[in-house]
Amino acid sequence: MRRPQRETQPGMPGRVTIYEVGPRDGLQNEKTVVPVADKAEFIRRLVAAGLDTVETTSFVPASWVPQLADSAELLALLGEAGRGRNRPVLVPNERGLDAALAQGVQAVAIFGSATETFARKNLNRTVEESMAMFAPVVERARAQGLWVRAYVSMCFGDPWEGDVPIDQVVDVASRMMDMGCDQLSLGDTIGTGTTGHVQRLLDALETKGIGAERIGVHFHDTYGQALANTLAALAHGVTVVDASTGGLGGCPYAGSATGNLATEDLVWALDGLGIETGVNLDALVETSVWMAESLGRPSPSRVVKALAGSSGDGDE
């Protein structure tokens, strides 16, 4: 397969960790439930392709996300390969944490909202009530030696509330990190963010003591800005980027949210900049094609379309 010409850019990191969310954030938005055996195979293929960090599933009520109701069965199929510190699972509350701990997981993620409307739609709680729910989850998880990630959604805009003040995002993010979380993921849930907005938010977080080394970015590509926003974050010092193989995903509670940044598109861009990821792009594209066939529709990833449909000789 063809590769981009490598031309480095000053100020960019030498290596980026891709936090793969396809099996969780990607598949949770599918209209049909993917068989659990296929989910396990998907994760195995992603790991074999060099994606070291893969968020596998979510321990939420089946009534919330029926597509991920098989979380315990999935982890049982994966065995030890699904339980390390680089195989986080999403948990909303202490009940979810109990279920995750019963499966022997070593990393969890909580998911909050920068806005009141989305907090109610996603968690059926206010922001304040959400914080009260998260605190014992983080405390117990840390006491058990787990790695904990904090997601904050609607950081760059909300479909119901419109623009979201940066100070409001910083306040929610700071409160979640003050609970003892190891990493913060900034979510552009509806994909409306732009590069200047990314830089201003990262600057504001830094002034509150949350530096780029503790931050991951999670951009949706609704308006075609995900890759540009990611590069802006990398130039600011961020080295963890959330992405979804094949561009799968969205948000079941925000109808305007389309897919995540495609992992293949990210790898292509980083490869061209000489930034290491450890990912085998050929194997990743093959995995995307396989999953797209399982879902019965083509992958939205531009790189998958280009490479899977070419002979690799670079002809136009």
Question: Of residues 184, 210, 215, 251, which has the active-site annotation?
Answer: 251
Give the mean pLDDT of 123-132: 96
pLDDT of residue 250: 56
CATH class of 17-308: alpha beta
Give the HSE-up count for residue 210: Cα atoms under 13 Å, Cβ half-sphere.
27
Measured distance CA(294)–CA(17) in Å, rounded:
27
Measured distance CA(195)–CA(55) in Å, rounded:
26
Q: For the chain, what are the domain ranges? A: 17-308
| The pLDDT of residue 316 is above 60 | no
Measured distance CA(181)–CA(150) in Å, rounded:
6
* Of 129-133, 152-156, 191-195, 295-299, minimum mean pLDDT range: 295-299
- 251 is an active site residue: yes
pLDDT of residue 254: 46
With pLDDT > 70 as the criterion, what percentage of the chain qualifies? 95
pLDDT tier at 297 (50, 70, 90 boundaries)? Answer: confident
| The pLDDT of residue 222 is above 70 | yes
- Quick one: angle between helices 94-102 and 71-78, nearest 10? 30
Give the mean pLDDT of 269-282: 98
Burial-class residue 265 by CB neighbours within 10 Å (0-12, 13-18, 19+). buried
Q: Are 275 and 268 in contact (CB under 8 A)?
A: no
